[in-house]
Amino acid sequence: MVIKTQDLAAYMFPSIMEVPITPLMKGSGLSYGAAAGVVVTNPDEVKVLDSSKKGIYAATKMRAEDLVVMNDSRIAGLVITDADEACHETVITRGAGKSLVANASLNERAGQFVTIDGTSGKIYEGILDCTTPDIASTSFQQMIQELVKETGIIVRANADTPEQARKARLFGAQGLGPVRTEYMFYTGERLPLMQRFILMRDESCLERLSELQTADFSGIYREMSGFPVGIRLFDPPFNEFCPKTREQREKTAKVLGISKRELEQRIERFSEDNPMLGLRGVSLGILYEEVYKMQLYAAFNGAADAKYKGLNPKPEITVPFVALPKEMKAMRRMIDDVAAEVSRRREMRIPYTVTAMIELPAACYQAEGIAGYVDGFSFGTNDLAQTTYGFSRTDLARMFVEYKERGILEKSPFVALTEPLLEVIRVGVERGRRGNPSLQIGICGEQAGDPSSLRKCYELGMNYGSCSPFRVPFVYQAFQREVQ
């Protein structure tokens, strides 16, 4: 029997049991499922919620410091005015499996109770009864097993926490693409520690962060025992972690014991006109190698802890934003040195592989040289689309409608792989395999959740695709139709 999309959606996401005729308002549904709760409009309001009272987070646009809200168990869904299908907020919310409605505003309704439907985009007044999915149920797991067996493809998931990794396995993921490690720094005590390191260069903060990340990785290895775990080293520029508002800067200056003027001067060092193309990824790892070393010690110590428990961890150290072979050579040396030291200290061999994220056209053209220092490539097609087209995926929504109406673009390159992107990827795959015939190659951008795009990647000779956990079953389901 062919498994239908609606069958999967009914099992995976909450739905409103009795839908009112008239919604309060309608926006665009960007992440499946229904959610009910009280409207909150800033992170401080989330802290007063208890486990029995869920919140719907409302904002015009998500800031970096708001990212912690998305993974808070007390937040059931989000309403973001300025968001589209491919923007960063949507990608993260979808990965967390939470409802998201865009192009609507609840900013003036703080304290009111609403129910949102991330499938239809409708928002209703009051708390409505919703179904509770059980993805661990025998019937759903049998369905997933059939899909994995019938399609014969390898689909990984982009997950950042042990809980997301657990759900990814229940959805049939055969490993993790990138674990986006920087998101671990936005929670609890971690953000102040990261800010202290960045602004004061207090390296003692890295010791505590390494301990916390070791526990994170141990939990992820537990959920993914026997499957590859792609650990993407720190990627964003430091300015994303610097306090933005006046209130935040006053509070941070007080915590650090410096004047507000001195804090402003320190923050100014990390300001960039275009942080998407600034000091980030491998460049940051080379110039601030202590950050990458901290994460590497955590990744390998977490693997050692997992091995002690009888598990089979498979770390795949992933270096982001690589452009040049010499960058990868420096990173490979650092990774191998830390792995050897941890193996010696823990008195055990820790198997691992190294992957370069291919996100720049230069990396595709330099792929033969880069391949000589790695075991695999992971095409980060979100950034590759940005650097190929010169579009920002956050801002493209403002111009895409008119581009489409004028016949300039048929579809967003951040949703599906277009011909220019495929051509650049083809160069990277061919040259990479020329430099290392055994190279394991995958795609980890959001386009991997688009079955037609993933199918083209397999035709180019890729080994796997990695998408948001909640998209994994739908990718299998789309390929099942082809098998049938």
pLDDT in tens, 251-285: 999 999 999 999 999 999 998 777 678 899 999 99
Asked if pLDDT for residue 331 goes beyond 70, the answer is yes
Asked whether residue 209 falls in the same domain as residue 334, the answer is yes
Active-site annotation holds for 205 = no
For the domain that residue 201 is a member of, what is the CATH number? 3.20.20.60
Task: Write the pLDDT tens digit of every residue in 394-439.
Answer: 777 778 888 989 999 998 999 899 999 999 999 999 999 999 999 9
Boundary-marking domain end, from 69, 103, 125 = 125
Boundary-marking domain end, from 125, 159, 180 = 125
| pLDDT band, residue 69 (cuts 50/70/90) | confident
Asked whether residue 365 falls in the same domain as residue 320, the answer is yes
Asked whether residue 142 falls in the same domain as residue 121, the answer is no
pLDDT of residue 172: 96
Asked whether residue 106 falls in the same domain as residue 165, the answer is no
Mean pLDDT in residue range 359-371: 98
User: Is residue 336 a part of any domain in this protein?
Assistant: yes
Asked whether residue 112 falls in the same domain as residue 146, the answer is no
Asked whether residue 467 falls in the same domain as residue 401, the answer is yes
Asked whether residue 180 falls in the same domain as residue 213, the answer is yes
| pLDDT band, residue 481 (cuts 50/70/90) | low
Mean pLDDT score across all residues of the chain: 92
pLDDT of residue 1: 57
Asked whether residue 85 falls in the same domain as residue 151, the answer is no
pLDDT of residue 44: 80
Asked whether residue 121 falls in the same domain as residue 198, the answer is no
Query: Which pTM does this prediction carry?
Result: 0.89
User: Is residue 413 a part of any domain in this protein?
Assistant: yes
Asked whether residue 63 falls in the same domain as residue 169, the answer is no
| Phi-psi category of residue 77: left, alpha or beta, with phi > 0 → left and psi -120 to 50 → alpha | beta
Choose, from 130, 205, 364, 444, the residue flagged as catalytic: 444
User: Is residue 97 a part of any domain in this protein?
Assistant: yes
pLDDT of residue 65: 63
Asked whether residue 358 falls in the same domain as residue 421, the answer is yes
461/454 Cα distance (integer angstroms):
11
Asked if pLDDT for residue 332 goes beyond 90, the answer is yes
User: Is residue 254 a part of any domain in this protein?
Assistant: no
Choose, from 88, 205, 364, 467, the residue flagged as catalytic: 88
For the domain that residue 78 is a member of, what is the CATH number? 3.50.30.10
pLDDT of residue 42: 85
User: Is residue 316 a part of any domain in this protein?
Assistant: yes
Residue scoring higher pLDDT (63 or 161) = 161
Domain count, the chain: 2
Instruction: Please name the residue that has the structure tokens 């390296």.
Output: 203
pLDDT of residue 90: 81
User: Is residue 452 a part of any domain in this protein?
Assistant: yes
Task: Write the pLDDT tens digit of every residue in 88-116.
Answer: 778 778 877 899 999 999 999 999 999 99
Asked whether residue 340 falls in the same domain as residue 471, the answer is yes
* CB distance 155 to 171 below 8 Å: no
Task: Write the pLDDT tens digit of every residue in 189-243.
Answer: 899 999 999 999 999 999 999 999 999 999 999 999 999 999 999 999 999 899 8
Active-site annotation holds for 444 = yes
What amino acid is encoded at 471 in this protein? Answer: R
Residue 465 phi, psi (nearest 5): -125, 150
Cα distances (Å, whole numbers) of residue 464 to 220, 372, 467? 20, 20, 10
pLDDT of residue 187: 77
pLDDT of residue 9: 81
pLDDT of residue 482: 62
pLDDT of residue 343: 98
The residue range of the domain holding 56 is 5-125
